[in-house]
Structure 1
Amino acid sequence: MKVTYFSLSFPELTQTFVFNEMKGLGNLGTDIDVVALSRPTDNVSNLPEDYGFGDRIRYVTADKRRFARMAVMAKGAAQLLSRGNIRALWRLLTSRDDEIKMPISLKLSIAAKLRSGDATAKVIHCHFGPAGRVVAHLKRLGLIDAPITTVFHGYDLTQYMDGRSPQVYRELFEQADLLIPISDLWRSRLIDLGAPPEKVTTIRLGIDCEAFDFKVRSVTPGEKIRFITIGRMTEKKGHRFTIEAFSQLASRRPDLDLSLDIIGNGPLLEDIRNLAQDLGCADRIHFHGGMAHQEIRRLLSQAHIFVLPSVKAADGDMEGIPVSIMEAMAMGIVVISTHHSGIPELVSHKESGLLVPERDTDALSDAMERLIMNAPLIQTMGFQGRQIVEEQFNEEKQTRALLLSFKRITEHPGSRSLDRPSVQE
């Protein structure tokens, strides 16, 4: 099987989950390549190179010169006519693109890249709804005919929807063969927006459990108690509430030796630093910025408690299911988070961690103290967290479920009645 990923920007540093999925599919014998509109100007990931996909990326260049665009259009029209695809040419020339604002020459160039190469079965696979919209539009026009799949993560069903019509995904819902939310919450959201339920299958993100060594956590009297949080410095990650709750705890319990490691870069980094200074706890907080995965695992191995109080941002942006929580749980670290988005599908309250209401600093601080004062909970919840990740968020199992879905839609093209795949298959 051949799977072509289509991306608006590739390879983004923050999309490690995409590259790990590609690696997993490659390990299962799938032929992988990528078609992308652009390469990021900064925050570029090196994982595609490390995983051996660096030479499988093809970029679509949008030439701004009028003569060049006309040449592309003429060549594309000639190819459509040579294949007898007059209907596609007519649709292309007469379509009114109120939603997908893109020159005809660029549409033809993208379609040509997606059609190139040969394989007995080919799927065009997108991460995030906006990328899926582009491919669905090309399919509606008749420029491509391969099965389409699109993964929805959260941003594309929250922040991206702000100011847009509820019908923004109409073409994608019509043309896609499979819509893949990463949580049951987003599955419900897609159906509410009009997606056919038989096309929607939840397949969760996963991690390579073998890459994260499990360690039983213990707190001995007098030992430094290490909190840790990982995430971009954006509003939805709730870093402000982590620092406020940590400051409350430090003031309330001066007898405890506490520290907090914060890993991540982003637009709110300076604001978060200033908050720590203003609250008088900056000497106990260590800002590490962005770090390599190996260094992150080193800090995780030293931590006792992972904190990520995610919130719905003012612009509507929400989490999916944070991979950073999965990684912490895989290493046996108890988690404190919030009743937010798909997080309760990962963190089982009072079993593998504690969940508090969004933006509730007092509850967050109380949860921190509760775990500190009950060392057996840190151990038992950490062990339960590892089990949950191994059983339900295991990268290999989820990748096999994804590949099984690909096989089903290529073996039964046009079918809109797919059984929901089980990771056990």
Structure 2
Amino acid sequence: MNNRKLVIVLKGYPRLSETFIAQELRGLEKAGFKLNIVALRRPTDTKRHPIHDEIEAEVHYLPEYLHDEPWRVLRAFLATLPTAGFWRAFAAFARDLPRDFTRNRVRRFGQALVLTHEWPQDGFWLHAHFAHTPASVTRYAALMLGMAWTCSAHAKDIWTSPDWELSEKLADARWTVTCTQSGFEHLRDLVGGRSAVHLSYHGLDLDRFGPYDQRRQMRDGSDAEQPVRIVSVGRAVEKKGFDTLLDALALLPPDLHWRLTQIGAGEKLAELKAQAQRLGIADRIEWKGALAQAEVLAQYRESDIFTLACRIAHDGDRDGLPNVLVEAASQALACVATDVSGIPELLTDGENGLVVPSENPTALAAALERAVREPTLRAKLGKAAEQRVRQHFDHHSSIDQLKKLFDQEWAKV
């Protein structure tokens, strides 16, 4: 592999909630690629995963707000203005602005100016993670640089971006990968054959999530001294459906003994804690906040059930296939989840998990009660889920697919 670099544009880096991206970056490095990471904003998480320390790539931060670094933006503007690339990008920006007349649109053009002016030495290829704001910056910068570019689309970016913008970006990109069948079908329908779209599950680094070979206790909720341990992991935001989960837990019979551990920070955490108080279940819930990956893994192994009540948010935002669900399944942990987006691509109800409609606390409560009362069923479902993960969701498959796609671009030069 030569020394030319893939320049990867991210919204923020590093982020605890985007372990799948860090895993992919490190996988590409191990596959022989040199990377340069460009982030639109600096990190806000107080913790980081060990994998972030393993990534060797340089990290370059663009101005999050243009007025914070006006001279940097001005230098980029003056240097780029005389070039033909500036006017190509400006023409695209001028078409976009009336349809998205926001400061955000101007910010992305300014960030693209800075990226172009500060282009890393030996940078060879531009790739955006997420088809919304990172892809906007990438697209404008590619036009300025006279380069082709590619994109990884995920969940929020697919379902909250307007169709006109998605379809134009996909048509401009050399190719796009996405991580769920539902997302793939939506993007494929949008482009209508004008650009290549590939399905590529993120998978899991199974070296980090080795098999859990200990036998779990056969708790069934009948003993107050041995409550069934339920864990849920995710940011406290609307699409994760934690309010539905709390409503479902409150419907469980009072003589059923359980405890919930919720892992993750987020804007709705205070509301959720207040809801738990109103429902009379606050004393059964431990709110852990954000945890590092090793701590989350320990919680999977100490628990009996993993649950996630994902939903489609009011603005259309939704999960793809939540990475935490794949992680939990890798530990032979029985999973109870909703049927949103890519979740049924991993879990089949009654075979390797319990899957219920979203926004339905009654159905979720019934599934949770069944899982709590039937430890033998939990063991069966957990083992089947682990087998599916280890057979079909090994991240090396995704890395191999990306490597082939990037190698094809290398070969064209």
Letter of the 1:214 counterpart: Y
Instruction: Return the offset for 1:93.
Output: 5.9
Instruction: Return the offset for 1:43.
Output: 5.1
DSSP 3-state at the match of 2:362: helix
Asked if structure 1 preserves the Cα contact closer than 8 Å seen for 2:73 and 2:114, the reply is no
Question: Normalising by the residue count of structure 2, what TM-score does the alignment of the two structures yield?
Answer: 0.86
Letter of the 2:112 counterpart: K
Quick one: distance in 2 between partners of 1:59 and 1:220?
49
Asked if structure 2 preserves the Cα contact closer than 8 Å seen for 1:10 and 1:38, the reply is yes
DSSP 3-state at the match of 1:378: helix
Q: Partner residue of 2:157? A: 156
Instruction: Return the offset for 1:197.
Output: 6.6
Gaps of 5+ in 2: 98-104
Quick one: distance in 2 between partners of 1:44 and 1:276?
27
Quick one: distance in 2 between partners of 1:133 and 1:394?
30
Q: Partner residue of 1:341? A: 341
Quick one: distance in 2 between partners of 1:20 and 1:405?
18
- The one of 111, 116, 122 equivalent to 2:116 is 111
Alignment of 1:115-154 (within 5 A): 116-118=120-122, 122-130=124-132, 131-139=134-142, 141-145=143-147, 147-154=148-155
Quick one: distance in 2 between partners of 1:280 and 1:77?
62
Instruction: Return the offset for 1:98.
Output: 2.8
Instruction: Return the offset for 1:335.
Output: 0.6
Q: Partner residue of 1:393? A: 393
Residues 313-358 of structure 1 deviation map (CA, whole Å, 9 limit, x = unaligned)? 1222111110110110000001111111111001122111011011
DSSP 3-state at the match of 1:277: helix
Alignment of 1:19-418 (within 5 A): 19-41=22-44, 45=48, 49-53=52-56, 56-61=58-63, 62=66, 71-77=75-81, 80=83, 87-92=84-89, 96-99=94-97, 100-102=105-107, 106-114=111-119, 116-118=120-122, 122-130=124-132, 131-139=134-142, 141-145=143-147, 147-159=148-160, 161=161, 164=162, 166-194=163-191, 196=193, 199-212=196-209, 213-215=211-213, 216-220=215-219, 222=223, 223-251=226-254, 254=255, 256-412=256-412
Quick one: distance in 2 between partners of 1:289 and 1:336?
21
Instruction: Return the offset for 1:41.
Output: 4.7
Quick one: distance in 2 between partners of 1:248 and 1:335?
19
Quick one: distance in 1 between partners of 2:322 and 2:157?
15
Asked if structure 1 preserves the Cα contact closer than 8 Å seen for 2:116 and 2:144, the reply is no
Gaps of 5+ in 1: 81-86, 414-425
Asked if structure 2 preserves the Cα contact closer than 8 Å seen for 1:124 and 1:149, the reply is yes
Instruction: Return the offset for 1:117.
Output: 2.0
Instruction: Return the offset for 1:48.
Output: 6.5
Quick one: distance in 1 between partners of 2:45 and 2:334?
34
Quick one: distance in 2 between partners of 1:65 and 1:237?
35
Letter of the 2:189 counterpart: D
Letter of the 1:113 counterpart: E
Residues 82-123 of structure 1 deviation map (CA, whole Å, 9 limit, x = unaligned)? xxxxx4354356662534425876533212334x3227xx33
Give % identity.
26
| Higher mean C-alpha deviation, range 129-138 or range 182-191 | 129-138
Quick one: distance in 2 between partners of 1:334 and 1:197?
42
| Higher mean C-alpha deviation, range 322-331 or range 385-394 | 385-394
Quick one: distance in 1 between partners of 2:108 and 2:183?
32
Quick one: distance in 1 between partners of 2:330 and 2:96?
45
DSSP 3-state at the match of 1:261: strand
Letter of the 1:150 counterpart: C
Instruction: Return the offset for 1:144.
Output: 3.3
Letter of the 1:156 counterpart: D
Instruction: Return the offset for 1:359.
Output: 1.2
Question: Normalising by the residue count of structure 1, what TM-score does the alignment of the two structures yield?
Answer: 0.84
Quick one: distance in 1 between partners of 2:372 and 2:201?
31
Quick one: distance in 1 between partners of 2:111 and 2:357?
46
Asked if structure 1 preserves the Cα contact closer than 8 Å seen for 2:38 and 2:61, the reply is yes
Calculate the aligned-residue CA RMSD, in Å. Answer: 2.6
Asked if structure 2 preserves the Cα contact closer than 8 Å seen for 1:305 and 1:336, the reply is yes
Taking a change above 3 Å as real, the CA distance of residues 25 and 72 of structure 1, as seen in their structure-2 partners, is closer
- The one of 15, 30, 39 equivalent to 1:12 is 15
Quick one: distance in 1 between partners of 2:219 and 2:70?
71
Taking a change above 3 Å as real, the CA distance of residues 349 and 110 of structure 1, as seen in their structure-2 partners, is same
Q: Partner residue of 1:83? A: none
Asked if structure 1 preserves the Cα contact closer than 8 Å seen for 2:212 and 2:332, the reply is yes
Residues 258-281 of structure 1 deviation map (CA, whole Å, 9 limit, x = unaligned)? 111111111111111112111112
DSSP 3-state at the match of 1:210: coil
Quick one: distance in 1 between partners of 2:252 and 2:108?
56
| Higher mean C-alpha deviation, range 338-347 or range 275-284 | 275-284
Letter of the 2:238 counterpart: E
Instruction: Return the offset for 1:134.
Output: 2.2
Letter of the 2:138 counterpart: V
Q: What is the aligned length?
A: 393
Instruction: Return the offset for 1:366.
Output: 0.9
Residues 138-172 of structure 1 deviation map (CA, whole Å, 9 limit, x = unaligned)? 33x35231x4221111101223x2xx4x2112442
Residues 52-84 of structure 1 deviation map (CA, whole Å, 9 limit, x = unaligned)? 43x601223457787765543343356x4xxxx
